[in-house]
Chain A
């Protein structure tokens, strides 16, 4: 089996669909709270919370816990590293898509 080229390997932490959705939404805004992310990505609160913890541990997002109008509120923003990683990841996906379209069909009918 041919080995993939090193420069085409995907970032496995970000490639998970839930985390990719969170990172992509955050890349289009400066910061968003937990409810906005839940609405926009369609994730359950348990899934979203778990993904955010992983992303924070990896240094890709910053999480600020605060109170707004006496209610707990979690505000999330991408770190510069997170922005770079998600931009690179989408670039990599585009490259793979382009590559797959240029490869010859292995089993022409």
Chain B
């Protein structure tokens, strides 16, 4: 029995709840398609509806994980601040990255670079980078750095970036969930009733 393994197990059980990333990816894809006025997303109301739908799915996901994998309150300090810091970093990079790329007139995808960097940093600090994190977000980073992207102010570069990031978030979430189930068992294979509550 290793101390680090047990402590890492607690972090994995919390941070590998990948189905929660699916609504997030849906919002990014809906935003990208809305900006591009693609198909039904050219209607203005579709994006807010997609956001509300994603919020509902997120709450269902939280309930599913709480019921089947338990509730945890993270310790104040580094681990608890990670999601907040990641959100601040993501917002800063999402705004700053594309502005920097545009200001320097580089043919890169600033959104892709920003999100891939934040995602790789987030997974490295919380659960340690797994193969699928490196492959998926590494591919997004490399694709964003290929100097073939057009001027973000006149092309669909930012929106295509949103579609790619949304798809990457969904696939990563599904693989994280698969890893969670393989590590801690599927909802069906253990008797998880809170028996101590009755004692």
Contact surface of A with B, Cβ cutoff 8 Å: 17, 20-21, 24-25, 27-41, 44-46, 48-49, 52-53, 63, 65, 68-69, 71-75, 90
Contacts and interface: CB of A to CB of B under 8 A. Distances in A.
Given A24-B3, A25-B10, A28-B10, A36 B70 contact: yes
Contact of A63 (B7, B185, B191, B196): B196
B123 to A, nearest CB: 18
Interface of B: 1, 3, 6-7, 9-11, 13, 63, 66-76, 79-80, 184-185, 190-199
B181 to A, nearest CB: 11
Nearest to A25: B10
Given A25-B9, A38-B70, 13 more contacts: A25-B6, A25-B10, A28-B7, A28-B10, A32-B72, A33-B72, A38-B192, A39-B13, A40-B10, A41-B6, A53-B196, A65-B196, A65-B197
A49 B195 contact: yes
Contact of B73 (A25, A27, A32): A32
Contacts of B1: 17, 20-21
A104 B195 CA distance: 49
Nearest to A43: B190
Nearest to A37: B70
Contacts of B195: 34, 45-46, 49
